[in-house]
Structure 1
C-alpha cells in the first residue's frame, strides 16, 4: 500500500516495547494525521475500512525519532580548498540512522555557502518528508543573514530558530569579543521571545586554551538567561568537558558531538562523555548529543593547515547510543539526550517523546540496536531495515529514458 494512502488513513502499530523515553512496556499505538492518536496496552478493535495499515512490531523497542541538532544540510568543509567542500547529505542518510528531525547550520564556510542556500536546503528536506529547521549565521561575525539581522531572520524566516554555529576558542573564528557575543545573544534571545522559537546561540568550541571563558564572562556580566548560550563539541578536550559541566549546572544546555576518538586522545567519545555527565550530578535534562553530519572533521598542523579530515554522519548518533548502553546505562536514562532534551531546548513541540498528541516520529530498534522501522509524521521511511522513501536524487536506478518521479508531499 502506498504511503499516500497510509497517510490518508489510520496506521496501527501493535506490540511495541515503548520507551517514551521512560519505559511504558508493551503498547499498541494508533497513528493518524501525523500524530499519535491513541496508545494502550490492549489492541483496539477497529473496522478495516478505517485502517490503512496494521503493523506487528513483535516486541521491538519503540523510541521517539532522534533529533540531530547539528547538521551541515548544505555540506560543510572547504578548509583545504574548494575541492574539500563536502556534498550535502541525502534524505536516507538521516532516516536510515533513525533521525527524524535535523537542525541545519553553516560552519567555516559561511561565505560561499549562504543562509539563503541553507533555508533552501531545509525546505527541500521538508518536501522530502524530514522535519528540518536551521540557524542563521555561521562561524564568523558579523553573522550571515537573510534580512540583515539575526533578530529579523528568526522572527520573519519561519525555519530559522536561532544563530549558529558561531566559533569561539578556534583559529578559524572571527575572534569575537565579549561585547560582540553579548550583542549577538541579545538579538537571538529577543527574537526567540517575539517568535516563540528557541532563540539560542549555538556555539562551536575549538581546541583553544580559552575554552568557555567567553561564555562564563557573558553569564557574569549580562542579564541574559544561561540557556541562550549553547556550546557544542564540548567533549573534544577533557578539560573543556569539565568546564561545560559547570556551565550546565549554571543553566546552559551543552552538546556532545558523536565524532571518532582515538585511543589515548585528549577527548571523550560521546558515549563516555554522556555517561560521565549523567553520573556527575549535573541536570540530566541539559545535555544533548549531535552528529555534525555533513560537516568536515579536520585535524590541523601547528601552522593551522589541514593535515587530515573525516566527514560526520548522522549514523554516529545511534552508534553512540548503543555504545553508552553497552556501558551499562539504561536506555531510558540515555535516550533523553537524543530526543526529549533537544526538543525542549529547541522548543520543538510534539517532538522527542511518545504519547497521545505527540508527533508520530517513531523509530523501532532491532536486536543489534539498528533502526528497523522509521516513521515521520506517521509516514514510513524505513521498513524492516529497508529504505522505502528516497530523496529526489537518490531514487534507485531506472531504465534509460525513465523519468524520476517527484516524491509525494505530505
Structure 2
C-alpha cells in the first residue's frame, strides 16, 4: 500500500482557551496527535517541518466531549427485532463535538454481545475516535469475553468497567445486594490490576426503589464509592435528589441528555446540571452523557412499549448551548462533558487542553455554534466543512446546524 502523506503540524494562534478552566489567549503547537506546546508568547515551529498556521482570532477553544454512555453497536429491541437500532456512523459523533465514546450494551445483551461491542470500539478507533467500553449489560450474569468481569477488564484493552447493569427497572435481572457487591468487587479489582477505571455503570429505571441498593452497598461494604456510577439520574426528580446525596458520599453521578416534556416528572440535562452545580454536591462528581444510539422508550403500566425515540450525540452540544444561552459560564459547565469524565474513567490524555494531552479540540464561534473539530491532530470539521468521514458513510453529510445534528 502506498504511504499516506505526513500529517502537517498545526499552529493555532490567538485561541481563547477553556482547558476546561478559562485560561485566556494562548498559542498552541500540535503534532503527532498531541499538544506539543502552549504559550501566551509566539511559538516557533521547527525548521523544515510543514506547519498549518491558523489564527483563531479569539474564538473559544475547548476539549472534545467525552460521551460516557453510547450504544456503539446500536440499541433498542424492546419492541421486537424490528426495533433494533443500527450503529451510528463516525460523523454523528465528530460533527457534534464528541471525540471519545464509552460504548455499552443495554437491554439486548443477548443478540448483541461483548465480542460485537469490542469489535465496534476497535473499528471506531481505526477511524480516529477515542473508544472504550464496558463488558456486561442490563442483566446477570454479565456477558463477557473471558468468562469474568475481572478478566475482561484486566485483559481486554478497550474494556474499562462493567455496565450498564440495570437496577430499579422492570427490564433488569432484579439483582440482590450480594450480587451487586460481587460484580462491583470484580470490577474494582480488575481496575486495580490494569490501571483502568474499574467501575460499575448502573442504569437506573424509574422504579420506586431508586438508588436504595447503592446506598446499602456503600453502607455494608468496603468498596470505594467511586466504583458505583449511576446514570439516568435525572429521569425522576426524586431520583435526582437521591443522586445529589450519593455524590456527597463519593459517587460520580451521570445525567442523561434525553428529551423531557413539559410537566414531566424529570429534569432535562440542562436543568439537572444547573441544579447540581447550584447544590452543595462536589462539582467534580457529575457528568453528562447522551445515550446515543440507544432506545428512549416509554412503557405502559404492564411494561409494554408504547413508543420510542433514539438518543443522539448532538444532545451534548445542545445542552452546552442551552446553558450558555442561560448565562452560565462555559468554564463552569464544561467539566461535566470533559475533565470530570476523564478523571472518573482514568483517561489521562483526554478531557483537557494541556501540553502532552491528545489534540482533541473544538472551536465554538461567537454564537456558540461548533465550527471546527480537531481529532487526534487531524481536522474532521473545519470552518463548518466536513473533511473526514467514516467507513461507508455517504456524501454529502447533512449541513451542521447550531443546535447539533440529529
Distance 2:342 2:285 in 1: 11
**Is 1:42 the counterpart of 2:41 in the alignment?**
yes
Distance 1:319 1:219 in 2: 34
Distance 1:336 1:148 in 2: 35
Residues 205 and 10 from structure 1, CA distance in 2 versus in 1: closer, same or farther, beyond 3 angstroms? same
Residue 45 (structure 1) shift: 3.4
**Is 1:351 the counterpart of 2:350 in the alignment?**
yes
| 1:386 counterpart residue number | 385
Distance 2:121 2:144 in 1: 15
Q: In structure 2, list runs of 5 or more residues that go unmatched.
A: 397-406
Residues 6 and 278 from structure 1, CA distance in 2 versus in 1: closer, same or farther, beyond 3 angstroms? farther
Residue 72 (structure 1) shift: 0.1
For this pair of structures, how many residues does the alignment match? 394
Q: 2:252 touches 2:344 (CA, 8 Å); kept in 1? A: yes
| 1:279 counterpart residue number | 278
Q: 2:202 touches 2:229 (CA, 8 Å); kept in 1? A: yes
Distance 2:172 2:314 in 1: 28
TM-score by length of 1: 0.94
- Map Cα deviations across residues 149-174 of structure 1 (whole Å, 9 max, x no partner): 00010000000000000000000000
Distance 2:367 2:134 in 1: 34
> Counterparts of 1:8-407 in structure 2 under 5 Å?
9-46=8-45, 49-396=48-395
Distance 1:368 1:178 in 2: 48
Residue 48 (structure 1) shift: 6.5
- Map Cα deviations across residues 41-69 of structure 1 (whole Å, 9 max, x no partner): 22223366313311222221000010000
Distance 1:223 1:97 in 2: 40
Distance 1:47 1:346 in 2: 35
SS at match of 2:48: helix
SS at match of 1:49: coil
Distance 1:346 1:45 in 2: 35
Distance 1:208 1:54 in 2: 55
Aligned-residue Cα RMSD (Å) equals: 1.3
| 2:399 counterpart residue number | none
Distance 2:159 2:44 in 1: 43
Distance 2:50 2:38 in 1: 15
Q: 2:339 touches 2:351 (CA, 8 Å); kept in 1? A: yes
Q: In structure 1, list runs of 5 or more residues that go unmatched.
A: 398-410
Q: 1:6 touches 1:379 (CA, 8 Å); kept in 2? A: no
